[in-house]
Structure 1
Amino acid sequence: MIRLERPPLDDQTVKLLVRAHERLPDAGLTEAVARKAWKAAGGTRERVAMALRAMASGIERCMYCSESLGTAIDHFEPLNHAPRRVFDWYNHLLACSFCNSHAKGGTFPKGTATGEPLLIDPTAEEPAHHLRLSLTSGEYHCLTPRGCATIDVFQLNRGPLRKGRLDAVGQCLDTLAGCAALLAADDTAGARKRMLRLRRQPLADVLQELRRIADRPSAAVVLGDEAALEALRALYGQPVAKQVFIPQQTSRHQPDCRFWKTAPS
């Protein structure tokens, strides 16, 4: 899961969302009523979908798993919890059918102590504060109860995703090795063109993690390709990634951790 920037909407889409929201009943607004209103607002939905597709990673990828094509607008806080947020732009994310319907559905866990949502909204906060991707196993490990909840609910360690991430590591390193050869031949434009194609691929979280660790002395040992890492540093500049605060782990959370179900948020 990667951090995504949510841009302001154009004026026409804002007006459509406001009008649709104003048409909601003041009383008796249930999940069923909200869904009916959402279904009826086809033009508004399409404009929201266009905005979400433009801000997604790769080419219109799911904002949760980063792998599959985002084909649905997910209400981050589900309508069975907050029907009045049906037309709230800040409650809309692009999701694949698995993450949206099969994994999350109407699930929306909250902390028992604070009542705050436990799932990570990648457009509102930095996911790296709560979970970390292992490039050697293709699995996510959680750093906080919120990270555990997000991994668990969205099944971010399901088999196809783990295998895909490991393949993506190899693909990234192969492309970067090619970029290194182009840079050695003073073909910076060619190297950047290859990197642009790489950024359009699924599983952008793999490339993000490579960027995050590229300036570490041990990175070449871990990944076994110094030339690829040098190309990554050269193409992104120094430092290759912003420093972020990472909570200290009191214990190691395994990829299938259910710690969030018992720990305070």
Structure 2
Amino acid sequence: MIRPELPLDTQEHLATYTRQIADAAASDRKATAIGLWGRFAVRRRVRPGVLAALTDMAPGHQRCMYCGDSQGTDIDHFEPKSQAPLRTFDWTNYLLACSYCNSNQKRDLFPRDASTGRALLLDPTLDDPLNHLRLVLPLCTYRGLSAQGDACIDVFGLNRRGVLVAGRRTAYATAKQSVELWRIATDRGQHAKADEVARVAWDRPLADVLAAMFHQSGHPAAELLFDGEEEILALLRDPELRASFLARA
């Protein structure tokens, strides 16, 4: 994900409120930040520009950047206001989240490495989740490949939330149908239809499943990861199909 530039007036408002927090005594910055963010007039000045930019960045149709399933409706502070008040109005600290991930799962949780203090949650604008999380097919549960991956699974309940696991199974079945339909349409010379199949595949909820399928098809152990689904693996490895789908990722 690449962050676009915000409208100039939004940038100016963010800078103004950041200065107000910085001007407060260090012991008062947390309360100042939370107070400013809670003001209707303040949010009215910054929310439209920030939310518009985040929705343009989000996968599919404004999907939550954490679970990939529900619609992203909330501006989440990646590093919570309570822990980093000076980042309360920092554009690089905002992610689009669904209300469930934001209010029920993450809240003020922000685990850090005990020895280095490094943040353990993944920021999808800086980190590639595929390097930290592996989708176990066809179970459609996640396995952490790093401490960051483990932290995300735990904080966001990626394997505990039955609706997410069930949704990924459906997304997996649908993704397999999409690559098969693309092949059929392409073989028939229906290239416009094939392009539409690829576009729609990425616009569906839980597009992370499709991304994981392409990623794992290039893994040295791909034959084991796709055991019993050799036809799908062959399609995912097809250079023409990969080029068509991944150009829209």
Bin of the TM-score, shorter chain as denominator length: 0.7 to 0.9
Aligned match of 2:176: 173
Query: How far 1:98 moved relative to its partner?
Result: 1.3
1:8/1:197 Cα in 2 relative to 1: closer, same or farther (>3 Å)? same
Amino acid at match of 1:234: E
Asked whether the 8 Å contact 1:174–1:228 carries over to 2, the reply is no
Asked whether the 8 Å contact 1:180–1:228 carries over to 2, the reply is no
* Partner Cα distance (1:39, 1:106) in 2: 16
* Partner Cα distance (2:93, 2:66) in 1: 14
Aligned match of 2:129: 127
- Structural mapping, 1:205-224, within 5 Å: 205-215=208-218, 218=223, 221-224=227-230
Aligned match of 1:57: 59
1:48/1:102 Cα in 2 relative to 1: closer, same or farther (>3 Å)? same
Q: Encode CA deviations 1:81-111: one digit per residue, 9 max, x unaligned.
A: 1111110011100001111111110111111
Asked whether the 8 Å contact 1:211–1:232 carries over to 2, the reply is no
* Partner Cα distance (1:195, 1:231) in 2: 15
Aligned match of 2:148: 146
- In structure 2, runs of 5+ residues without a counterpart are none
1:35/1:131 Cα in 2 relative to 1: closer, same or farther (>3 Å)? same
- Structural mapping, 1:33-44, within 5 Å: 33-40=32-39, 41=42, 42-44=44-46
Identity score, percent? 37
Aligned match of 2:6: 9
Q: Does 1:26 align with 2:24?
A: yes
Asked whether the 8 Å contact 2:235–2:241 carries over to 1, the reply is no
1:57/1:239 Cα in 2 relative to 1: closer, same or farther (>3 Å)? closer
Aligned match of 1:190: 193
Asked whether the 8 Å contact 1:73–1:94 carries over to 2, the reply is yes
Aligned match of 1:249: none
* Partner Cα distance (1:138, 1:179) in 2: 23
Asked whether the 8 Å contact 2:199–2:245 carries over to 1, the reply is no
Q: Encode CA deviations 1:120-147: one digit per residue, 9 max, x unaligned.
A: 1111112222221112111110111221
* Partner Cα distance (1:126, 1:30) in 2: 32
* Partner Cα distance (2:228, 2:3) in 1: 34
Query: How far 1:236 moved relative to its partner?
Result: 2.9
* Partner Cα distance (2:65, 2:170) in 1: 20
Aligned match of 1:256: none
Query: How far 1:26 moved relative to its partner?
Result: 2.3
TM-score normalised by length of structure 2: 0.87
RMSD (CA atoms): 2.4
Asked whether the 8 Å contact 1:130–1:144 carries over to 2, the reply is yes
Of the two structures, which has the highest relative contact order with CA contacts closer than 8 Å and spacing of 6 or more?
1
TM-score normalised by length of structure 1: 0.82
- In structure 1, runs of 5+ residues without a counterpart are 242-265
More helix by share: 2
